[in-house]
Amino acid sequence: MAESRTKKEQLAPRRLFDAANLERRGRLGETGGMTPTGTSTGLSIVIPTLNEAERLPATLAALSTPGGADRSAPDIVVSDGGSRDATAALAREAGARVVTGAKGRGAQLAAGAAAASGDWLLFLHADTRPGPGWRAVADAFMADPANRQRAGYGRFRLADPDRRARRLEARVAWRCRRFGLPYGDQGLLIGRDLYRALGGYRALPLFEDVDLVRRIGRHRLAPLDIDAVTGAERFLRAGYHRRSARNLGLLALYLMGVPPAWLARLY
């Protein structure tokens, strides 16, 4: 009977991780970032950029946390790949640290993680804004010692009222549930120790996000009750159907073993 219950628990779908449930269960302390066990929740946010002066300020504004003794401000690291606009200056003005290096999202994410100081790392795209209440949910996730061996991701949302955006969001949610493949524009919250043990981000020109989450494994990925709101410009330019079809085709080729360097030419 005990073995049967264990199997059922393993097969049961994971519940959405949210701060309200944890508060009711007494796991989230008054600080919002510590449990009685004293687990550290120092957080660094890593954002790769390349000429993102128009979109980065909104993301940095969404990450700002009210001051006070109840919650420490996160360490924000902007990993720039050689922007020629005001990206770096705007990041510094907002209080972020800026590191510069080789162009390429995988390499930039790895460089940002290496420069980060937190025990936990939240990776975000420059045009992805976490929704209201994100910090409480992140703190609750980090405060649970069991999540040291798990990673959390946000709920994909597009900043577009079009019904096609809602249909795409539903398809992304299904992909995450069925295959455990959240993309980088959903954010990724992971402990530094687990990140290092997995080898971190690789310097791939494309699908560096899929490469990492596949190493994490679907059973160690947890959906967080956080909206990850991303700009819809690329879908509006190429068209929702065309862009989605191309992304799906590239993903299929990648999973079949086609080198990312070749796929990057088609992206």
Helix/strand/coil (H, E, C) string of the chain? CHHHHHHHHHHCCCCCECHHHHHHCCCCCCCCCCCCCCCCCCEEEEEEECCCCCCHHHHHHHHCCCCCCCCCCCEEEEEECCCCCCHHHHHHHCCCEEEECCCCHHHHHHHHHHHCCCCEEEECCCCEEECCCHHHHHHHHHHCHHHHHCEEEEEEEECCCCHHHHHHHHHHHHHHHHHCCCCHHHCEEEEHHHHHHHCCCCCCCCCHHHHHHHHHCHHHEEEEEEEEEECCHHHHHHCHHHHHHHHHHHHHHHHCCCCHHHHHCCC
Which domain covers residue 228, as residue numbers?
A: 16-237
Residue 151 maps to a domain: yes
Residue 266 maps to a domain: no
pLDDT value of residue 9: 39
114-131 per-position pLDDT tens digit: 999 999 999 999 999 999
Residue 31 maps to a domain: yes
Domains of the chain: total: 1
Residue 248 maps to a domain: no
Residue 9 maps to a domain: no
> Domain with 119 in it: what CATH number?
3.90.550.10
Residue 158 maps to a domain: yes
22-81 per-position pLDDT tens digit: 333 333 333 333 333 333 449 999 999 999 999 999 999 999 855 433 467 889 999 999
pLDDT value of residue 44: 97
Residues of the chain with pLDDT under 70: 1-41, 65-71
pLDDT value of residue 267: 80
pLDDT value of residue 26: 34
Residue 7 maps to a domain: no
